[in-house]
Amino acid sequence: MARKMRVRNHKVVLNRSAGGDAGITVMLVILGVLMFIPMYFSVMTSLKPLDELWIFPPKFYVINPTLKNYADLFKLMSTSWVPFSRYIFNTVLITVAGTFGNLCLGSLAAYALSKIPFPGRKGIFQMIVLSLMFVSTVTGIANFITFSFLGLVDNLLAIILPACCSTLGLYLMKQFMDSSVSNEALESARLDGAGEFRVFWSIAMPMVKPAWLTLIVYSFQGLWNTGSSIYIQSEQLKTFNYAIQQILSAGIVRAGASTAAMVIMMIVPVTVFIISQSNIIETMASSGMKD
């Protein structure tokens, strides 16, 4: 039987029927449009002037796009109880400190788990894998007790410290090191008399740049969207996302300003992802979990 063989993206692609290709393309377009519609509407609504927001039936496009909603958002913000810059400062502080901490602690730990055969490392790694299997809400109440004990309730450290020991980025980095940092390179450096920290810093770390970036992106995304938390009570320690939720809770009356807020909240993580996408995919190639 003759088989069809075609070359697509310089890869050999076998056994593809034209009907199947068409069907898949149609499915993909339908799904893609469904995924895209809500984002499209958020941007459109945020650009609508007030009179267009109240047209019945609502239009699916903007006639006279305006940035007035964004200006209104900042006006709304300046009338808030706490200066709005404070919310933004808190979010930036949490995000930067938590991500930096997670990167430092996580990469050291990933290196140790991947490249130093100390007794106990398998057990620790199993605990880390187990921690990927439940959401942090489960530990919230008990952590509240820990934080009251440590005097950290109503302190941003209560958000930052747990973020520093978040495990997903560490897990991905460890798996990436397993598959892409050769033990020979490390061994020859050790024979030349380099200590573990030196080997870690000047040999292993430069080889796992995609994994750093992935860890940074994951930590960043999580922290950037930090909303209200039971650990934080003072208004001046609340985050940007919390403030946005307050604006959103006014509902359709503020549809313009609230969609503007959503778009602003979205732009930052999406931009970060666009820049780092190829590195993240490269890291994910070794994300696999062995049984």
Partner 1 sequence: MSQNTAVKERKAKPVARKDMTRAQWTWKEMKKNKAGYIMIAPFFILFFVFTVVPVFLSMILSFTSFNLLEWPKFVGLDNYVRLFLDDDIFLTAIQNTLIFAVITGPVSYLLSLFVAWFINELPPKMRAFVTLIFYAPSIAGSMYQIFGIFFSSDRYGYVNALLIEYNFITEPIQFFQNAKYVMPLCIIVALWTSLGTTFLSFIAGLQIVDNSLYEAGALDGVRNRWQELWYITLPSMKEQLMFGAVMSITGSFGFGGIVTALAGFPSVDYCAWTIMHHLEDYGGQRFEVGYSSAIATILFLMMIGSNMLIKKLLSKVGQ
Give the one residue of 5, 22, 67, 275 binding partner 1; rule: CB under 8 A.
5
Q: Are 249 and 136 in contact (CB under 8 A)?
A: no
Give the one residue of 50, 54, 83, 275 binding partner 1; rule: CB under 8 A.
54
Q: Closest separation between CB of residue 107 and partner 1, Å?
A: 9
Q: Considering beta carbons, is residue 122 or 209 the nearer one to partner 1?
A: 122
Say whether residue 205 binds partner 1 (CB under 8 A). no
Sole window of 62-70, 73-81, 180-188, 261-269 interacting with partner 1 (rule: CB under 8 A): 261-269
Give the one residue of 76, 164, 216, 243 binding partner 1; rule: CB under 8 A.
164
Say whether residue 193 binds partner 1 (CB under 8 A). no
Is the bond leading into 206 cis (omega within 30 degrees of zero)? no
Say whether residue 49 binds partner 1 (CB under 8 A). no
Q: Which two tokens stand for residue 144?
A: 């509240």
Which of 167, 189, 216 has the alpha carbon at shortest distance from 115?
Answer: 189
Give the one residue of 47, 97, 113, 257 binding partner 1; rule: CB under 8 A.
113
Q: Closest separation between CB of residue 84 and partner 1, Å?
A: 16
Q: Considering beta carbons, is residue 56 or 79 the nearer one to partner 1?
A: 56
Sole window of 28-36, 67-75, 77-85, 181-189 interacting with partner 1 (rule: CB under 8 A): 28-36
Say whether residue 165 binds partner 1 (CB under 8 A). yes
Q: Closest separation between CB of residue 94 and partner 1, Å?
A: 14
Give the one residue of 22, 27, 67, 275 binding partner 1; rule: CB under 8 A.
27
Q: Closest separation between CB of residue 202 and partner 1, Å?
A: 15
Q: Which two tokens stand for residue 155?
A: 């302190």
Please report, as residue ranges, which positions from 71 to 100 form the binding site for partner 1 (by CB under 8 A).
Answer: none
Encoded one letter per residue, x for contact with partner 1 by CB under 8 A and - for no contact, window 221-260 reads x--xx-x--x----------x--xx--x--xx--x--xx-
